[in-house]
Amino acid sequence: MSDTTAVKALIFDVFGTVVDWRTSLINDLSAWSEPRGIKADWAALVDAWRQAYVPSMDSVRHHPERGFLKLDKLHRQSLETLVDRFGITGLTDDDLHHLTLGWHRLHPWKDSVPGLTRLKTKFVISPLSNGNVALLTNMAKFGGLPWDLIMSAELFKHYKPDPESYLGACELLSLKPHEVMMVAAHNNDLDAAQKCGLKTGFVPRVTEYGPLQNRDFKADGAWDVVADDFVDMAKRLGC
């Protein structure tokens, strides 16, 4: 563990780090479709939906002239393509809207709320997610996430790993980069934050992608804190 005595705020990746998006979405879509008699391989659709996540954001990142599109919009566009690919017919606009909002109804990992609650006693805590503000706010209400504020890539019009997102979060907090720690289950997120001068904390979520997990089983960089989960991170940071 490196020197973290100057850290005043912790900012968190959310999808996969704080919440279990895969299990949550599979259960959400399955529960919605069963009484309607709609049959689909929801696990495969959810996996494909997540695989479309980075390419959809990259299209925004690499073409700023087209303007910023928030993640709800990108999720909806990806879902419309996947519904056709999976041969799911008869869905209304309201149906597609409800399914897209499944990303607002993700359940936290079991250690997330108790760990965040402990960390909040010493630090300002906030998401720094590619999810848009409404998504993150609704998710916090749904899952009982005790954030002090909501920070989103939407505020900076730059998706991670653009440096504008990490440095923008520091600016909003009126803190220097070394006074802010990025916490994530993804080594590439921490690498981008570290290059911006932020402190870094790694927590593994080895079941995030279910049977498709092929990375982030362990810390692959020189991160300042490596913990087993959020409760362990709170202990390591003196909370």
DSSP string, 59-113: HHHT-GGG----HHHHHHHHHHHHHHHTT-----HHHHHHHHGGGGSPPBPTTHH
Calculated CA dihedral for residues 107, 110, 115, 120, nearest 10 degrees = 30
Strands ordered across the beta sheet of 199-202: 151-152, 124-129, 9-12, 180-184, 199-202, 225-226
The predicted pLDDT at position 48 comes to: 96
- The residue type at 202: F
Q: Is 18 exposed, middle or buried (0-12, 13-18, 19+ CB in 10 A)?
A: buried
Q: What is the pLDDT of residue 2?
A: 84
What is the 8-class DSSP label of residue 11? E
Tokens of 143: 């899952």
pLDDT one-digit tens code per residue, 188-228: 999 999 999 999 999 999 999 999 899 999 999 999 999 99
Cα 162 from Cα 196, distance rounded (Å): 10
pTM, rounded to two decimals = 0.95
Q: What is the pLDDT of residue 1?
A: 73
Beta bridge partner(s), residue 128: 151
Q: Residue ranges of the chain with pLDDT lower than 70?
A: none
Q: Measure the CA–CA gap between 70 and 220, rounded to whole angstroms.
A: 30
Q: Are 223 and 54 in contact (CB under 8 A)?
A: no
pLDDT of residue 31: 96
- Residue located via tokens 């897209």: 100
Residue of 190, 199, 181, 180 lying closest to 220 (CA atoms): 190
Q: For position 225, what pLDDT does the model report?
A: 98
Structural contact between residues 221 and 200, judged by C-beta atoms closer than 8 angstroms: yes
- pLDDT number for residue 65: 85
Torsion of CA 205, 170, 52, 133, to 10 degrees: 100
Give the Cα separation of 182 and 194 in Å (integer).
8
